[in-house]
Amino acid sequence: MSRSLMGLKRKTALPSVHLIVQEAESVMPLDPALCRKIVLFLCETWSGIGRTEILRHFRLSSAALSKNRSRFLKELAEDPGLALTMETIRSRIYLRMRRPSCFLM
């Protein structure tokens, strides 16, 4: 398989940063700080984009992203409700990715 086809396959199978941000904000509109932590964690672990792209997109340093990840993992372990919120966001993203484009508006 050529590199361009592999890149296309990779891009279509993973959620974009925009989609992750959009769904996280729709689930957590009243807590922007926690929403940002969730978005950064999902972008780093699930979006498939590189760390440097994440740093550039959110205008962060590498140390700030690492701190966010470690603090968020600690919060996730302590709060079962947060784990449920994460699953809700992931499910919504997955459903939006699988929905035919004629239904997206």
CATH number of the domain within which 63 lies: 1.10.1750.10
Task: Name the pTM for this structure.
Answer: 0.77
State residue 85's pLDDT score: 93
**pLDDT class for 103, splitting at 50, 70, 90?**
low
* Domains identified in the chain, total number: 1
**Mean pLDDT score, 42-48:** 88
Q: Let me know if residue 34 belongs to a domain.
A: yes
Phi, psi of 27 (to 5 degrees): -85, -35
Cβ atoms of 20 and 39 within 8 Å: the answer is yes
pLDDT in tens, 48-94: 888 999 999 999 999 999 999 999 999 999 999 999 999 999 999 98
The domain containing residue 82 runs over which residues?
17-97
* 7 in a structural domain: no
Q: Is residue 56 part of a domain?
A: yes
